[in-house]
Chains A and B, each alone.
Chain A
């Protein structure tokens, strides 16, 4: 399967713990996005990379959140000192930039539950 993969698929943690998620994009894709989706809502944009450069961060991304994409390949999203409000599905998407409207392909997501 050459789609976007995410690991782990599920994570249960206690409040105050740190968690890290990984996303492996489609291999030739230079753009990588993180979104967060809560139950019954559409995904909300968190941050975006073009190659290894993080070009935009949403105001939703508090300073407890950090994302990296070393060498422009896989990406990690870390949440420090988790809170119950962080419970959500974290989705990664990748695309190949073709100008306007490049298709974003989503991974299966990592479901985070903070107890």
Chain B
């Protein structure tokens, strides 16, 4: 029940395309869903986060879509650039008490020029 399942494991997109990364969860106590970007040799950096009271959130070229009934959420990257090539992790937090994040397995994204 603590798992967050992420897909695909890897994704290759041409520059300007819209990569989509999907995550699903089981634990209905999760109520905070961030996405992190990680470059090799670096720690994860927060990209964008959503609470389940909204179905979509946009920040710049990054959009989270959230489907509470399906317990799924996804990251869309508009006008993707080679500099977006990184590993992306979805995560979820129970909200109450410890804010420990439960991470997905990660998606290695490559944007070809």
A residues at B contact (CB < 8 Å): 4, 31, 33, 35, 40-45, 48, 55-56, 58, 91, 93, 95, 97, 100-109
What are 12 A-B interface contacts by the 8 Å CB criterion?
Answer: A35-B101, A41-B105, A42-B6, A56-B97, A91-B43, A100-B32, A100-B96, A101-B34, A101-B49, A101-B95, A103-B49, A106-B43
B residues at A contact (CB < 8 Å): 6, 31-32, 34, 36, 41-46, 49, 51, 89, 91, 93, 95-106
Q: With A and B bound together, what is the CA distance between A39 and B99 in angstroms?
A: 24
Quote the shortest CB–CB distance from B53 to chain A (angstroms): 11
**Across-interface contacts of B42 in A (CB, < 8 A):** 108-109
Are B43 and A107 in contact (CB-based, < 8 A)? yes
Are A100 and B103 in contact (CB-based, < 8 A)? no
Quote the shortest CB–CB distance from B62 to chain A (angstroms): 15
